[in-house]
């Protein structure tokens, strides 16, 4: 990394890491227009809007 001298075995890992040094927020929530630095953060946030819960309890119908 040109900013902190960390090394990575793959270019894709380096590119993902370098985002932490950037002020860019390229990922936008389609519901509220909030901006995120990482796609995974945006995707997790969108679940707050959609109520998408991946895990369902077989005992009590609760979803998480």
Predicted local distance difference test score (pLDDT) of residue 9 = 97
What pTM, to 2 d.p., does this model score? 0.60
Average the pLDDT over 10-31 and give the result: 92
SS3 content of the chain, % helix, strand, coil (to 5): 35, 10, 55
The Cα 27–Cα 36 span in angstroms is 5
In a domain, 14, yes or no: no
In a domain, 15, yes or no: no
Domain count, the chain: 1
In a domain, 36, yes or no: yes
pLDDT tens digit sequence for 21-61? 988 999 999 999 999 988 999 999 999 999 888 788 889 97
For residue 64, give the CATH number of its domain: 3.30.160.60
pLDDT: is 54 or 11 the higher one? 11
Domain, as residue range, for 38: 25-64
For the chain, state the CA radius of gyration: 17
Phi-psi group of 61: left, alpha or beta (phi > 0 → left; psi -120 to 50 → alpha; rest → beta): left
**Residue 13 — pLDDT band, cuts 50, 70, 90?**
very high
């Amino acid at each position: 990394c040109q900013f902190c001298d960390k090394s990575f075995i793959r270019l894709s890992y380096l590119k993902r890491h370098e985002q932490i040094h950037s002020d860019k927020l390229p990922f936008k929530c389609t519901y509220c227009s909030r901006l995120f630095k990482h796609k995974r953060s945006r995707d997790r946030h969108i679940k707050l809007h959609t109520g998408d819960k991946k895990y369902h309890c077989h005992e009590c119908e609760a979803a998480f």
